[in-house]
Chains A and B, each alone.
Chain A
C-alpha cells in the first residue's frame, strides 16, 4: 500500500510540474494557431501590413497598470464588445499580415478569451502564432489573477518556423517583482508564400535602466541576421521609443495622474516610468540605426508629424490633454525590401483611439520587383 502510494506520488509530481510562472529560454517555439474558417488567398504583390498594440481588448478601460484608473478585470461583455470593434476595423482595413502586441489568451482580466483564436475566427486572417510576454498561473496583485499576454502575428498566408526570442529582463526591479513580471520577446515567423519573414516586437515601456537599449539592440541583431543572409523581412511593433528628432522626450507632466508629482528635487521617482525617453545616453536617437539600414513605412521627415502619432495615455484626452488623443509615436513598420512600401499607402489610424491606447500603423509592401 505504502509503495503504491509513493509510486503514485512520484508519478503525480512528475506529470504535474508545470511552472507557476513561465520562464522562457533564450529561444523557443512560438504557439501556432489556425483559423476555424480558412479563406483561400492568392499571393499579392502589395500585401498590406498592420501593427497594432490592442491593449488586450480593453479599449479605454481604466486599467491600473497603464492608465490613471484603478480597475483590473473587464466583464466578458466589455471584452466581447471591444474585440468585435477591433474585428470590424481589421475587416475594413483588410490587412494581409498583422503584428499585434498586448494580446491576451485565457487571462482573467479579459474574460478568459483566447484573443488570437477569436481574431482568426472572426476575420479573414487564416494563420497565427503567439509568444507569451507575461504568463503566470496567478498574479496576486490587485486581483489580476491568471495572466497570459503576448505578441502575435496573424496572416492570410501559412506561417512556419515561428520562434520566440527572449529579450533581456529588467534589472531595475527586485528579484520577487521580476519573477512575476513581464518577459518581453521578439516573435519571428516565416511566410513562405511571400518568401518573407515577419518580425514583431514589444520593447520595454517602463524600464529606467538600459533594458530598452538591450531590447532595441537585440531587435537590430535579429533583423540584421535576416538581412545578411539575403532574406526579406517585414517588421514592426510597439518599440516604446520615440522617432529620432522628436521634439519632446519628457512626457511626465503630460502623463501625470491626479495625486502624482514628478520633477521634484530629492523625491523619487523623479520621472514617471514609461513617460521619460532619455534614461540613458543615446535613448532619444535609439531608433536611428533602423532608419539608416531599412525602409520605414513612415519616413523620417513625417515621423514627428502629429498626424503620425500612435499613442495616447489616458491623460491625453482628459483635462490636461487639450483634446489631443495622440501625442507621441511609439509604433513602427520597417522592411528591407529594396522597393520598400507602396507610396501613399501608409496610414496611422488615429480615429481608432477609443479601441486602444495605441493606434494601428498600416502600409502596403512593395514586393513587385523582387
Chain B
C-alpha cells in the first residue's frame, strides 16, 4: 500500500502540480492563497512576492518556489521565479522490489539530489481578460554522490524533469494563453519545451488545454489534458495524459481549486 500511495503521489504530482497552473508574471495579491487537490499551495506574501509549495508532495519531496514581480518592460509585466526541490526521499520510496517498484532495488539507495531552477516570466494583455505569457528558465541538478544512469524513470514528463540530475542542467521555454470564454468559464492553452542538451532523450515538447469553471468566488473546477511529445533513449513517443494503461485510454484531468485570503 505504501508503494501504491507513493506511486500515486508521484504520478499525480508530476502529471499535475505546476503543469495545470498557468505561469503568468502576475503574483497573487498579498495574503491571498489558492490550492488544488493536485496543485500547489500559492500564497501572496506581499504585492510583489508569492510563495508556492506542493503540500501533498512536501513530506517526500521538499520543495519551494518564490515568484518576485519585477519592473514592467513596455506592456509586459515581468517576474522572476526561483525554486528548489529535493526528490531523494520520494525516489527512494520508489526504489524497491515487486510491484510499483519504479527503480531497480539493486541500484539504490538514491543519493542526495537537489534541483534548482529559475525562470523569467513575461505577461501582457492581448485583449480584455486575455493574457499572453512567455517564459524561459534554467534548471540545475546537483547530485551529492554518484547517481547510476540506470535509475532513470523513462516516462513522459518524469524522465525530462528528473533528467537534470543525470545531465546536470536543462533549459525550458514556453508560452501560455489564458482568457475568458464566459464570465464563469476560462481557458488556458500553453506550449512548453524542455531541452536537456547532450542528454540521451534531450527534448520534451508539451501542450496543455484546461477549462476553469468558476463555481463561486472561492472554488474552481478544472478539466483538461496534457499532450507530450518527447525524445527518449528508445526513440520518440507521443502521449496524451492522464492515460489509463489498463483501459488503454486517455481520460480528462479533473481537479478542484480553492482560493481565499488570510485575514
* A associates with B: yes
With A70-B106, A112-B234 known to touch, is A140 a contact of B7 (CB < 8 Å)?
Answer: yes
Sorted nearest first, the 10 A-B pairs with minimum C-beta distance are A143-B104, A20-B245, A72-B104, A106-B234, A73-B150, A112-B233, A16-B238, A142-B101, A143-B103, A12-B227
**Per-residue contact bits, chain A 160-198, to B (CB 8 Å; 1 contact, 0 not):** 000000000000000010010000000000000000000
With A5-B187, A106-B235 known to touch, is A71 a contact of B106 (CB < 8 Å)?
Answer: yes
From residue B263, how far is it (CB to closest CB) to chain A in Å?
Answer: 37
B88-104, CB < 8 A from A:
95-104
Is B105's beta carbon under 8 Å from chain A?
Answer: yes
Contact A140 B233 (CB under 8 A): no
Contact A5 B209 (CB under 8 A): yes
Q: Contact check: which of B102, B209, B243 meets A20 at CB < 8 Å?
A: B243
Residue on A with the closest CB to B201?
A112
Contact A179 B154 (CB under 8 A): no
With A5-B209, A21-B245, A106-B234 known to touch, is A141 a contact of B189 (CB < 8 Å)?
Answer: no
Is B248's beta carbon under 8 Å from chain A?
Answer: yes
Contact A143 B245 (CB under 8 A): no
Number of residues on chain B facing chain A (CB within 8 A): 40
Q: What are some 10 contacts across the A-B interface (CB < 8 A)?
A: A2-B181, A5-B187, A9-B225, A12-B225, A13-B240, A72-B106, A137-B245, A141-B98, A142-B104, A146-B154
With A13-B240, A15-B238 known to touch, is A138 a contact of B246 (CB < 8 Å)?
Answer: no
Sample of 4 further A-B pairs with CB below 8 A, known A2-B181, A5-B209, A18-B239:
A70-B97, A137-B155, A142-B98, A145-B102
**Per-residue contact bits, chain B 65-104, to A (CB 8 Å; 1 contact, 0 not):** 0000000000000000000000000000001111111111
Contacts of B209 in A (CB 8 A): 5, 8-9
From residue A179, how far is it (CB to closest CB) to chain B in Å?
Answer: 6
Is A1's beta carbon under 8 Å from chain B?
Answer: yes
Is A75's beta carbon under 8 Å from chain B?
Answer: yes
Residue on B with the closest CB to A107?
B234
B102-158, CB < 8 A from A:
102-107, 150-151, 153-155
Is A266's beta carbon under 8 Å from chain B?
Answer: no
CA distance A176 to B247 in the complex (A): 11
CA distance A164 to B189 in the complex (A): 43
Is B62's beta carbon under 8 Å from chain A?
Answer: no
Residues of A within 8 A of B (CB): 1-2, 5, 8-9, 12-13, 15-16, 18-21, 64, 70-73, 75, 106, 108, 112, 137-138, 140-146, 176, 179
Contacts of B238 in A (CB 8 A): 15-16, 18
Is B179's beta carbon under 8 Å from chain A?
Answer: yes
With A141-B98, A142-B105 known to touch, is A20 a contact of B248 (CB < 8 Å)?
Answer: yes
Contacts of A140 in B (CB 8 A): 7, 99-102
Contacts of A16 in B (CB 8 A): 227, 238-240, 250
CA distance A71 to B153 in the complex (A): 16
CA distance A179 to B246 in the complex (A): 7
**Per-residue contact bits, chain B 190-209, to A (CB 8 Å; 1 contact, 0 not):** 00000000000000000101
Chain B, interface SS category: mixed
Contacts of B181 in A (CB 8 A): 1-2
Residue on B with the closest CB to A12?
B227
Contacts of B104 in A (CB 8 A): 71-73, 142-144
From residue B96, how far is it (CB to closest CB) to chain A in Å?
Answer: 8
Contacts of A71 in B (CB 8 A): 104, 106
CA distance A138 to B243 in the complex (A): 12
Residue on A with the closest CB to B155?
A138
Contacts of A176 in B (CB 8 A): 246
Contacts of A138 in B (CB 8 A): 154-155, 245
From residue B108, how far is it (CB to closest CB) to chain A in Å?
Answer: 9
Contacts of B243 in A (CB 8 A): 20
CA distance A71 to B239 in the complex (A): 30
From residue A251, how far is it (CB to closest CB) to chain B in Å?
Answer: 24
With A20-B243, A73-B107, A145-B154 known to touch, is A5 a contact of B248 (CB < 8 Å)?
Answer: no
CA distance A120 to B246 in the complex (A): 35
Contact B227 A2 (CB under 8 A): no
With A8-B209, A20-B243 known to touch, is A146 a contact of B225 (CB < 8 Å)?
Answer: no
Contact B187 A2 (CB under 8 A): yes
Contact B101 A141 (CB under 8 A): yes
From residue B85, how far is it (CB to closest CB) to chain A in Å?
Answer: 22
Contacts of A137 in B (CB 8 A): 155, 237, 245
CA distance A108 to B233 in the complex (A): 9
CA distance A13 to B252 in the complex (A): 11
CA distance A72 to B189 in the complex (A): 40
Contact A70 B105 (CB under 8 A): yes
With A20-B245, A106-B234, A112-B234 known to touch, is A142 a contact of B97 (CB < 8 Å)?
Answer: yes
Contacts of B154 in A (CB 8 A): 108, 138, 145-146
